[in-house]
């Protein structure tokens, strides 16, 4: 829990619902799982139900849960901006010509990885006592750069009480301010204080070692701007570089090699440069309560960590005040990853248990349990003030499962993306979803129709 001036805050996990066009297109260089599964047939219905099962599991642990909706895909508007014209069916046909890459890029369900939707600062830490959300511009990957306008509208529809929340404009969408959201941000807090760790992979201006093979998605300049935009006092923000070796090993976001909450951080030694100095700096801010566990390369290689995602676990607070790890099944199957997580539980850490869950459909695109959720600390009054029905309970879970069952296909390949019926089905499904979630007209296709 986070102590705020007025009330206790609890961390809500806002899970991204898997979208109706969930598929494996190999769109993310540097994300090894995405490349390895490119071209496989997908089952969007099973993937979405798998995501909802995770939500139910985490909610049953006593962790507050909420949902964020998918985005309309194929993104016909983006294809029109790329010069394709005619009616929607013609745009799809033309974009599918040649190698079809532009259509695949416009069709990803990638908004499901809500750890990249925004960076969030809780009201307990901000200068004006409000919760601040900064949607990420996601400029490094073209398919992800299509998300921010809709993400911003959705977050503004949900966090619409300006006395409590501010949803900012994303940072300028240039490579200088390349921002990937909460996947590169960790808030830690103990009785001694709070620290916001903003990780970055390259500098827009100035020298810093860079990865040689794969893109560094976040700039130092974006991290600094994010800390300012979120209205964090400068003494709470700490920027630190991801190791180029980690990025070149497939850790395209910090949350592939580190996860932390409250007074606890678990990390790989290749997550951050000079990790011992970082831990000393955090220790100085957070005091004796701060606990961390470091995996060495000898104990758990970056290759295993990237394949099995033990650090992409969720660290959730149980009603007892202790933490639990929600890890992907792949970590259970990888001996080094499983042993590491068991060590975390067996040593003197505030962690009681590790639970393994199946999110394989997301894992095959490089998204583990932690990628699928955006953490937002809210007080009870904040939660009541949300402008849509996004808080998860049994009733909403049942409605969403039925909606997926009715509206989603159970097989999808790249060839299907040009099918105008898929576009119509997706719009129909999302239109219904906005009614279930009482979100209003947040999508471009709904606004155009008004």
Q: How far apart are CA 396 and CA 359, in angstroms?
A: 20
What 3-state class would DSSP assign to 274? coil
Please give the Cα distance from 66 to 12 (Å, whole number). Answer: 7
- The answer to whether residue 237 forms part of the interface with ligand SUG (CB under 6 A) is no
Q: Which is nearer to ligand SUG, 124 or 363 (CB)?
A: 363
Answer yes or no whether residue 242 interacts with ligand SUG by CB under 6 A: no
Q: What whole-number distance in Å separates Cα of residue 278 and Cα of residue 209? A: 17
Rg (C-alpha) for the chain, rounded Å, is: 21
Q: Alpha helices, DSSP H only, in 335-419?
A: 335-346, 360-363, 380-384, 394-407
| Contact track, ligand SUG, 174-193, x by CB under 6 A | ---------x----------
What's the closest the beta carbon of residue 381 comes to ligand SUG, in angstroms?
A: 29
CA–CA separation, 382 and 167 (whole Å): 14
**Binding marks (x or -) toward ligand SUG, 281..320, rule CB under 6 A?**
----------------------------------------
Q: In 193-301, which ranges are continuous DSSP H helix?
A: 220-229, 244-248, 275-286
Give the binding-site size for ligand SUG (rule: CB under 6 A): 23
The reply on whether position 69 binds ligand SUG by CB under 6 A is no
Contact, 12 vs 377, CB < 8 A? yes
Near ligand SUG in 252-281, by CB under 6 A: 252-253, 255-256
Options 13, 50, 65, 365; binder of ligand SUG; rule CB under 6 A: 365
Options 253, 269, 330, 334, the catalytic residue: 253
Site for ligand SUG in 10-29 (CB under 6 A): 24-28
Place of tokens 């200088």: 176
371 tagged catalytic: yes
* Interior/surface letters 286-320, b for 16+ CB within 10 angstroms, e for the rest: beeebbbeebeeeebbbebbbbbbbbbbbbbbeee
Write down the H helix ranges in 268-322: 275-286, 302-308
Integer Cα distance of 29 and 414 in angstroms: 18
Cβ 142 to ligand SUG shortest distance, Å: 10
Closest distance of CB 219 from ligand SUG, Å: 16
Nearer to ligand SUG by Cβ, of 109 and 157: the residue is: 109
Residues between 75 and 134 with contacts to ligand SUG, criterion CB under 6 A: 108, 110, 113, 115-116
Residue whose CB is less far from ligand SUG, 190 or 219: 219
Positions 329 through 348 that interact with ligand SUG (CB under 6 A): none
Position 198 contacts ligand SUG (CB under 6 A): no
CB neighbours of 167 closer than 8 A, spacing ≥ 6?
118, 133, 135, 152, 155, 156, 159
For residue 262, indicate whether it is catalytic.
no
Beta strands in 95-141 (DSSP E): 118-121, 131-135
Q: Which residue out of 180, 262, 269, 330 is catalytically annotated? A: 180
144-163 residues in contact with ligand SUG (CB under 6 A) are 144
Tokens describing residue 146:
């299509």
Nearer to ligand SUG, 300 or 386 (CB): 300
Is 253 assigned a catalytic role? yes
Select 24 or 340, whichever has its Cβ closest to ligand SUG: 24
| Residue 182 beta carbon to ligand SUG: minimum distance, rounded to whole angstroms | 8
Closest C-alpha to 426, from 448, 402, 403? 403
Q: Is 136 in the site for ligand SUG (CB under 6 A)?
A: no
Interacting positions 404-443 with ligand SUG (CB under 6 A) = none
The region, left, alpha or beta by phi > 0 then psi within -120 to 50, assigned to residue 268 is: beta
Nearest to 375 by CA among 442, 293, 314: 314
Pair of tokens at residue 428? 């129909």
Q: Which is nearer to ligand SUG, 67 or 361 (CB)?
A: 361
Interacting span for ligand SUG (CB under 6 A) from 188-196, 223-231, 247-255, 326-334: 247-255
**Residues at the interface with ligand SUG (CB under 6 A):** 24-28, 31, 34, 108, 110, 113, 115-116, 141, 144, 183, 252-253, 255-256, 365-367, 371
Q: Could you list the active site residues?
A: 180, 253, 371
């Amino acid at each position: 829990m986070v102590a705020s001036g007025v009330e206790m805050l609890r961390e809500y996990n806002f899970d991204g619902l898997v979208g109706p066009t969930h598929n494996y297109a190999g769109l993310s260089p540097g994300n090894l799982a995405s490349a390895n599964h490119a071209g496989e047939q997908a089952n969007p219905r099973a993937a979405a139900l798998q995501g909802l099962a995770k939500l139910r599991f985490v909610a049953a642990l006593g962790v507050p849960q909420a949902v964020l909706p998918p985005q309309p895909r194929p993104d016909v508007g983006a294809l029109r901006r790329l010069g394709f014209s005619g009616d929607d069916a013609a745009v799809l046909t033309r974009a599918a010509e040649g190698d079809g890459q532009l259509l695949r890029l416009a069709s990803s369900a990638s908004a499901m990885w809500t750890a990249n939707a925004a960076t969030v600062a809780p009201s307990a830490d901000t200068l004006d006592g409000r919760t601040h959300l900064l949607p990420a511009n996601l400029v490094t990957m073209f398919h992800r750069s299509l998300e921010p306008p809709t993400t911003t509208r959705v977050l503004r529809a949900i966090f619409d009480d300006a006395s409590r929340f501010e949803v900012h404009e994303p940072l300028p969408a240039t490579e200088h301010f390349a921002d990937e959201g909460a996947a590169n941000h960790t808030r830690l807090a103990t009785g001694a204080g709070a620290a916001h760790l903003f990780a970055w992979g390259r500098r827009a201006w100035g020298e810093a070692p860079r990865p040689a093979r794969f893109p560094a998605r976040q700039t130092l300049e974006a991290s600094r701007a994010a800390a300012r935009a979120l209205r964090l006092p400068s003494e709470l923000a700490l920027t630190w570089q991801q190791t180029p070796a980690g990025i070149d090993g497939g850790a395209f976001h910090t949350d592939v090699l580190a996860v932390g909450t409250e007074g606890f951080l678990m990390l790989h030694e290749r997550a951050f440069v000079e990790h011992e100095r970082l831990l000393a700096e955090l220790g100085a801010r957070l005091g004796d309560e701060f606990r961390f566990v470091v995996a060495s390369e000898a104990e758990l290689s970056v290759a295993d960590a990237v394949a099995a995602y033990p650090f992409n676990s969720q660290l959730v607070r149980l009603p007892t005040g202790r933490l639990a790890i929600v890890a992907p099944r792949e970590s259970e199957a990888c001996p080094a990853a499983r042993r590491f997580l068991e060590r975390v539980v067996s040593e003197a850490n505030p962690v009681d248990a590790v639970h393994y869950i199946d999110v394989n459909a997301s894992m095959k695109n490089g998204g583990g349990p932690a990628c699928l959720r955006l953490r937002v600390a809210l007080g009870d009054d904040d939660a009541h003030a949300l402008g849509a029905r996004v808080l998860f309970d049994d009733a909403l879970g049942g409605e969403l499962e039925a909606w997926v069952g009715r509206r989603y296909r159970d097989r999808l390949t790249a060839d299907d993306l040009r099918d105008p019926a898929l576009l119509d089905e997706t719009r129909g499904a999302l239109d219904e979803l906005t009614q279930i979630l009482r979100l209003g007209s947040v999508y471009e296709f709904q606004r155009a129709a008004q």
